[in-house]
A and B are shown apart, each in its own frame.
Chain A
């Protein structure tokens, strides 16, 4: 795939949370049930191939962490591979590898999730290993003391030595003054330096319980077989109270903030972010759908406004993108970034002005019906394409459930998007793209530090 295809894929990613649509095709049968210990299970049947994906999602991530204890969720994710009652450190991964399975795990602000993709006859192995570490993680001190060094190294390599990651980390810390979303998922280095295995044990005991988890299974399975396997392996794990989890609420209009960062990069860039609600916190849900469509109008493909006007038309930027994640537990950001076209000697200030021209245009003039239709067509198609991957389907279900929304939203999503009018878009642009909600970062090469 080249840039064009990848850009289109970007739109699909941004719609990752809404697989099904009335227009698209008959939805695959999807079932949900809850075990007595509170473990919620969602099963989607997809019988195209004899494979299955199993995912366990815990409602805990870096936005749950407190100052001084940042990075706990991510560190715990690492330690989940270091042995539980039935397996030693690293052993589960080798067992799965030998069975031809793919496995992975990921931590974010709102969740920590673990998954396996494997031939359908091996689902029980995935469940047994996953249930074992839900119930009886070992957390050996010697493994932790080695692993925390690996995590620090990961931080150095992926954040401290990676100019754009570092810029985003600092940007988020500034853009979320009130909520836990200012915490970087990997944790601040000072907190990693003083992290103790006892803190991880406490974090594990607090949040890793069946009643704080969702098991998602998509593939060539029946709900009955999943239910009996889930009951067998997860059923015996006792329920336990979890601490109260507060939704991350932000100041609506914190005031304009500016960050200038000099990093080791060849390419300067600018980041804009507006404090806006997400689907879980918005009073006016249509404004959320309007923001999603705005993101697509600006950056939803090679024919979108950024591409057409800024990249090709003015040749002002060599790359630019927008991001609006509506599917968060709390208030979120609408972000734009751009890298000025250096071959054409464009500056960060010019690129920033270019982004603002696009935003002002949205405020001044509603988009044409034709342009909106083009965006919706991509969204609708994306809903179908997403169903080609069992992992995407499971991820959509799991993330919706874990941020406090229902997977059933997937079914109404398209209708919600279609109810948005050009005027809704103009209104959302006027409401949210204001200086009071704005954070700006100028990310510049180190050479210019003293200019």
Chain B
């Protein structure tokens, strides 16, 4: 539920960073398992005393008092006071993602990445040492819908005020120096070279192209090898002036601040931004043409991506689709897809489905990797699982389990300041009500099997799928029959 959607790729994702793995820590990979219903089985057998003692009620959740106001320049603010720790987080989200690139793919991301490279009187090193000398963490990122800039700092007034003053400058008066622009272009271009070795990335690029055609979601946020070299300083300044305007911003604040302090702080940030209104909302995409594209790639495994247009953030069916998706392939083990493709046939380590509700209709996607010689059969199997699910809908049991899991994990979604500022940002950016988290939970818990099935069929159709595969062309083998204990171990690691 907590999310920053769409393409996560930004500079470091493009550049293969050599990290030191000093103490190699091996994380658990979810292990094989048979069927779901474990909780019921365990309870009925009364093997676990602790389970028998749970009263079955949903757990309590942290009560969030979300306050909101609008700054003089028109930026919407969402604020939660949290005085337990002497720190605060501020995150500013602009409708300045790559869907606003216009005819310069990569412009939004480049503008965002260049913000902290120079301000009047300070070069990139001075800005960095300014934040770091205060113990403050500056962060930024650009995606399809949004660009964001964030600051985490100690709340003691000497630290706070100095960090915010620098933050305001970076947001309001970036100089976009030429040497930095050349360096960052180089990094992005190096990333494009590196992408050529990554079949999953190539498949994803092709998928968005197919799914969105001429729509601004079609191109990747980082731009293209053709577009990036041509980006100019003047374009960055122009983009900043319109897209980083106060009227185009949402400010989320959490931490050790009083309401008055938060108001003063957000008033200053807002005043330091360029003046201007929110940018016009982008248009809804048009329906893509269904069908299959293949990318030839000499890998052992074949990547399979399936997608169709899903929903936007304002869609009233979001709760039903989210729960419905949880059962299809949103969770880990025990989902329809995981059970059929991995648990019964050992064709993959992980298969996942997701809705990405965005400003306008984001994708519904299913993705997995499988052994190349099984890719044809696996592709058909996934299609069959989806078609069958749409036809029959979830069982009552599946729906009850998904509701229970959702209720149980809900308190985890607002446990830390970092969690809360993320939730506030999404709520503000997509104009959701302040009671959104509770509403979502209530709506989800009230859903019936019929409602979930109806919502799924309203938005998805088995024959509308856009499919992209990346892998080698080799002789195909038939799929093994379903069993409880797959004999052959699948290749590949789950994608997360």
A residues contacting B by CB (< 8 A) are 1-6, 8-9, 24-25, 48-51, 74, 77-78, 81-82, 86-91, 93-95, 97-110, 117-122, 124-125, 127-129, 146-147, 149-150, 153-154, 157-158, 164-165, 168-169, 184-186, 233, 266-267, 269, 271, 300-304, 307-308, 312, 315, 318-325, 328, 333, 335-339, 342-344, 373-374, 377-382, 384-385, 387-390
- B416 to A389, Cβ gap below 8 A? yes
- B86 to A24, Cβ gap below 8 A? yes
Q: Which residues on B sit within 8 Å (CB–CB) of A300? A: 132
Q: Is B84 interfacial (CB-CB < 8 Å)?
A: yes
Q: Which residues on B sit within 8 Å (CB–CB) of A337? A: 18-20
- A390 to B415, Cβ gap below 8 A? yes
The CA-CA distance from A153 to B84 in the complex, in Å, is 45
Interface mask (B39-62 → A, CB under 8 Å = 1, otherwise 0): 101100001111101100001111
Do A122 and B408 contact each other (CB < 8 Å), given the known contacts A374-B133, A388-B85?
yes
- A124 to B53, Cβ gap below 8 A? yes
CB-based closest 6 A-B pairs: A100-B408, A381-B135, A90-B33, A5-B139, A119-B59, A100-B409
- A90 to B333, Cβ gap below 8 A? yes
13 A-B residue pairs with CB within 8 Å: A2-B11, A82-B31, A89-B33, A100-B406, A103-B28, A106-B25, A146-B489, A157-B492, A185-B24, A315-B183, A318-B15, A381-B153, A381-B159
Find the residue from B41, B189, B411, B489 having the highest chain A CB count within 10 A.
B411
Q: Is B267 interfacial (CB-CB < 8 Å)?
A: no
Q: Which residues on B sit within 8 Å (CB–CB) of A233? A: 50
Q: Which residues on A sit within 8 Å (CB–CB) of B86? A: 24-25, 384
- B85 to A106, Cβ gap below 8 A? no
Q: Which residues on B sit within 8 Å (CB–CB) of A335? A: 20, 22
The CA-CA distance from A337 to B18 in the complex, in Å, is 7
Excluding A9-B137, A108-B26, 12 further A-B contacts by CB distance (< 8 Å) are A2-B11, A24-B86, A90-B32, A91-B33, A95-B51, A128-B50, A150-B29, A157-B493, A307-B128, A308-B128, A377-B132, A381-B153
Smallest CB-CB separation from A5: which chain B residue? B139
Give the tally of cross-chain contacts (CB within 8 A). 316
* Interface of chain B residues 307 through 358 with chain A (CB within 8 A): 331-334
B residues contacting A by CB (< 8 A) are 10-12, 15-34, 36-39, 41-42, 47-51, 53-54, 59-62, 82, 84-87, 112-113, 116, 124-125, 128-129, 131-141, 150, 152-154, 159, 183, 186-187, 189-190, 193-194, 197, 331-334, 401, 404-412, 414-418, 485, 489-493
Q: How far is the CB of A23 from chain B (nearest CB, A)?
A: 10
The CA-CA distance from A319 to B191 in the complex, in Å, is 12
Selected contact of B20 from candidates A48, A322, A381, A382, CB within 8 Å: A322
The CA-CA distance from A106 to B27 in the complex, in Å, is 5
Do A2 and B87 contact each other (CB < 8 Å), given the known contacts A168-B21, A300-B132, A302-B132?
no
Do A380 and B54 contact each other (CB < 8 Å), given the known contacts A2-B141, A100-B407, A146-B32?
no
The CA-CA distance from A385 to B153 in the complex, in Å, is 9
Q: Which residues on B sit within 8 Å (CB–CB) of A150? A: 29, 31-32, 489
Q: How far is the CB of A393 from chain B (nearest CB, A)?
A: 11
Do A267 and B16 contact each other (CB < 8 Å), given the known contacts A125-B48, A300-B132, A377-B135?
yes
Q: Which residues on B sit within 8 Å (CB–CB) of A323? A: 20, 22
Q: Which residues on B sit within 8 Å (CB–CB) of A95? A: 38-39, 42, 48, 51
Do A382 and B135 contact each other (CB < 8 Å), given the known contacts A90-B32, A185-B26?
yes
Smallest CB-CB separation from B19: which chain A residue? A321
Do A4 and B139 contact each other (CB < 8 Å), given the known contacts A49-B414, A157-B492, A325-B22?
yes
Q: Which residues on A sit within 8 Å (CB–CB) of B485? A: 146
Q: Which residues on B sit within 8 Å (CB–CB) of A385? A: 87, 137, 152
Smallest CB-CB separation from A311: which chain B residue? B183
- A319 to B18, Cβ gap below 8 A? yes
Do A338 and B18 contact each other (CB < 8 Å), given the known contacts A95-B48, A302-B128, A328-B23?
yes
The CA-CA distance from A149 to B136 in the complex, in Å, is 46
Smallest CB-CB separation from A336: which chain B residue? B20
Selected contact of A312 from candidates B28, B116, B124, B489, CB within 8 Å: B124
- B491 to A104, Cβ gap below 8 A? no
- A388 to B133, Cβ gap below 8 A? no
- B408 to A118, Cβ gap below 8 A? yes
